[in-house]
Amino acid sequence: MIRNKVVILGFRFILGGVFIWAGILKIIDPLGFARDIDNYRFFPHALSFFLALLLPWLEVICGACVVIGIYRRAGAFLLSFLILGFLGLIFLTMIRGINVDCGCFGSLSRKADITLFLTDTALCFFAINIWAYPPKQQAL
């Protein structure tokens, strides 16, 4: 695990910023995000709408916690689970041969492919390192 305070601070700004930005774009267009979730053909239709309302707010709140440093470890822990779940979804989508936009950034989303998988793996690495960093080094 990385223990450099400056590197961890950089990870916090990158991870938190990505999730705050992505969450806000999804909050603006919940029906579009529900459609993106539905395109994966993994969740029942009704659950797609519930997730489209819940997940963006969770992303924004956890991202803000990571950036600000209040409940930093809890925010990083939850974001790591969200990322791991999404990595599994990307993997299943690629295996099933479904060509879908990821839905991560609203209309700015890209295809769910190996590059997205690698990008999210890096974000998961950031989240795990933020979570593992000593609790006493919390706030900005």
Give the model confidence (pLDDT) of 32-75 as tens digits. 999 999 999 999 999 999 999 999 999 999 999 999 999 999 99
Give the model confidence (pLDDT) of 87-103 as tens digits. 999 999 999 999 999 88
139 pLDDT more than 80: no
Tokens of 89: 């979804």
Match 């795990």 to its residue by tokens. Answer: 128
**Residues paired with 101 in a beta bridge:** 111
Rounded to an integer, what distance in angstroms lies between the CA atom of residue 7 and that of residue 3? 8
Residue 37 carries which side chain, given as an amino acid letter?
Answer: I
The whole-number pLDDT of residue 105 equals: 85
The whole-number pLDDT of residue 140 equals: 57
For the purposes of burial, counting CB atoms within 10 Å of the CB of 93, is it exposed (0-12), middle (13-18) or buried (19 or more)? buried
Residue 13 carries which side chain, given as an amino acid letter?
Answer: F
Percent of the chain with pLDDT over 90: 84
The whole-number pLDDT of residue 122 equals: 98
The whole-number pLDDT of residue 138 equals: 53
137 pLDDT more than 60: no
Half-sphere exposure of 139 (CA within 13 A, CB side): 1
